Structure 1
Amino acid sequence: MPHIFRAPVEADLPTLLKLNNDHALELSELAEDEFRELLKVAWRSRVTDDLSAMVVAFDQDTARISQNFDWFKARYPRFAYVDRVVVAEATRGQGLARALYDDVIEAARAEGQTLLCAEVNLDPPNPASDALHTSVGFTPVGSADVVGRDKSVRYYVRPL
């Protein structure tokens, strides 16, 4: 059965913020106003009805300053970028992350995008995310230390 996603609404924000911050090691912890702004500027955001999974994506025109997003902007004129995809522990293994990526890919293709970008923690390592990205066709194109954090990331791209 295919997964059905929808855009988040105001009432979802507390639960989605908690989902994000429960996975701050893999993503980044956000205050409520930062999270609200992230969703406001996103090119695409989708959630499950039970709010157990979400994706937030930008395109090259998104008004956002972020070291990782800026890395892609400096190298590619046109792209879609998955800023974060997260699935609650209780609903892992159901194909939600892959289905959220499929949703973003479909939307990006519909807008004529030819490249999808993402990053995954290199240190601390995130082998499950690396495996997911490799399995859906991403290849590594670079890495960087995250400024002001004890963290480094690997940059990935995937042709659409």
Structure 2
Amino acid sequence: MPIRSFIVDDLTWTHALNEEHTVELSSLTRDGFAELIEKASYVRIAEKETGLLISYDQDGDYSSINFKWFCAVYDNFLYVDRIVISKAARGQGIAGKLYDDLFNFAKAKGYERIVCEVNSDPPNPASDAFHASLGFQIVGEAKLEGKGKTVRYMEKAL
């Protein structure tokens, strides 16, 4: 599946994909989602409306509590805000291709690490296993008050 940069014509389907996965991701209005993408450092999609990865670097204009945790700990990174693959396309290696593209971009730009969080409550064992297979290590944990979630903070040194 080809990976390419996001274009404005992708907004409708990527927003719909995000909203199909609000257990794992946070729900956003269409305008909020468009702003998230506009401010991101890196946005790639898998063609045929199958996947999306959005990332911010350490200087990003982003108010996420999880992003701010990484900003307090590291000074050079790309933060994966969300990666989502359509249910019909799971198991085809698309998430791995999106991450490979991100790793190549990060190395070329001189980033030292990729960071993300994965839900531990409610659990997301598929994401835990996937990130572990890519070499991510757990570097922290936080209970997100008011959101009913606990997350594991993860890092992959480049």
Out of 93, 97, 100, the position equivalent to 1:99 is: 97
In the TM superposition, what are the counterparts of 1:46-125 in structure 2 within 5 Å? Answer: 46-125=44-123
How much does 1:70 deviate? 0.4
What TM-score do you get using the length of structure 2 for normalisation? Answer: 0.97
Structure 1 unaligned spans of 5+: none
How much does 1:5 deviate? 1.2
Which residue identity is paired with 1:7? S
Out of 109, 125, 128, the position equivalent to 1:127 is: 125
3-state secondary structure, aligned to 1:101: helix
- Between Structure 1 and Structure 2, the one with more strand by share is 2
What TM-score do you get using the length of structure 1 for normalisation? Answer: 0.96
Structure 2 unaligned spans of 5+: none
How much does 1:152 deviate? 0.9
Q: Deviations over 1:41-89 (max 9, x none)?
A: 1110001221210100111011111100000000001101111100001
Cα distance in 1, alignment partners of residues 47 and 155 from structure 2:
29
- What is the identity percentage for the equivalent residue pairs of Structure 1 and Structure 2? 44
Cα distance in 2, alignment partners of residues 148 and 6 from structure 1:
36
Segments ≥4 residues shifted beyond 3 Å: none
Cα distance in 1, alignment partners of residues 86 and 35 from structure 2:
22
Q: Does 1:7 align with 2:17?
A: no
Alpha-carbon RMSD across the aligned residues, in angstroms, is 0.9
